[in-house]
Amino acid sequence: MPARLLSTVRGFVFDLDGCVWNGSVLNPGASELLAALHRGGRALGFISNNSRATGDDLRELLHRLGVGAARHVLTPLEIIGEVIRQRFGTARVLVVGAPEMAAVIARAGHELVDVKDYRAATVVAVGNDFDLSYERLTAAARAVAGGAPLVTPNVDPRLPIEGGEFLPGCGAIVEAVAVAAGVRPIVVGKPEPPLFRMALERMAVPPAAAAMVGDSIPSDIRGAKAVGMLTVLYAPEGRTDAPARRADAGEADLVVGSFAELSSLAGVS
């Protein structure tokens, strides 16, 4: 039944890291599938848990890689400043993460706190930090242990890159802070509902007429199912962490081994 339903889906939302691309290289068949879906009148959306780039940044990258149909692209940086405001008001935020994340939090009206002044923080925001130091990790953990809520774009443990390799993901850093402080983080991105709902709203497609395509069961599949979308697990052969090899792959409505297979099931060419 899910395979037959896929040919009637009006909109597809794709995960980016590990699904559409690895690093800055498109996965095999991604460009062809996305072009075919666009030609066939299907709405397209893209959701990434990237904590270092905005949707505009990733849309530009998709365009440079030849995915001209990319229009609706979202990351947690679109909403993290507003989430902090809604939950905690205007805050003094200690940011452990990329300058891009600090910038969007500041643009939302929050005051940024220096690592050395961690005791003044009323919120701690932790993203993937390529300049992570023990000092920064310690400051974040101490601020959270002292009562500042811990907010993060995602808890994904790995960031897939080219050649089948990976970098430690945002979740690996957040977990270190959370364990040291004895708290659990507030997650802004997938699998929480806001980004899924925003993508569907911009695509003008209801959840029941949309499919989520992603390679992560915890963030893509469970998150999309929670908002009522059809789910497609992208699990190509040859990946050592291929989700299809795990028992929980059955949580997805469909499992595909390639974008060519998905193209056939979606009825496009």
CATH of residue 172's domain is 3.40.50.1000
Q: Which among 161, 222, 190 has a CA at the least distance from the CA of 46?
A: 190
Q: Long-range contacts made by residues 225-234, C-beta under 8 angstroms, separation at least 24?
A: 225/251, 226/191, 226/193, 227/193, 227/196, 227/197, 227/200, 229/13, 229/196, 229/200, 230/2, 230/5, 230/6, 230/9, 230/254, 232/6, 232/256, 232/262, 234/15, 234/19, 234/259, 234/262
Indicate whether 175 and 231 sit together in one domain: no
Q: Is the pTM of this model over 0.85?
A: yes
Please report the pLDDT score of residue 250 as a whole number.
77
Work out how many domains the chain is built from and give that number: 2
Indicate whether 162 and 112 sit together in one domain: yes
Indicate whether 198 and 218 sit together in one domain: yes
End-of-domain residue from the set 122, 153, 187? 187
Structure tokens at 142: 């101490």
Spell out the per-residue pLDDT of the chain, length 269, in tens.
Answer: 566 778 889 999 999 999 999 988 999 999 999 999 999 999 999 999 999 999 999 999 999 999 999 999 999 999 999 999 999 999 999 999 999 999 999 999 999 999 999 999 999 999 999 999 999 999 999 999 999 999 999 999 998 888 888 999 999 999 999 999 999 999 999 999 999 999 999 999 999 999 999 999 999 999 999 999 999 999 997 554 544 444 456 799 999 999 999 999 998 87
Indicate whether 54 and 128 sit together in one domain: no
User: Which candidate in 15, 156, 215, 253 is catalytic?
Assistant: 15
Full residue range of the structural domain in which residue 175 is found: 84-187
17 is known as an active-site residue: yes
Indicate whether 111 and 158 sit together in one domain: yes
Indicate whether 53 and 7 sit together in one domain: yes
User: Which candidate in 17, 156, 220, 253 is catalytic?
Assistant: 17
Indicate whether 176 and 239 sit together in one domain: no
The answer for 182, left when phi > 0, alpha when psi is -120 to 50, beta otherwise, is left
Indicate whether 195 and 70 sit together in one domain: yes
Indicate whether 148 and 161 sit together in one domain: yes
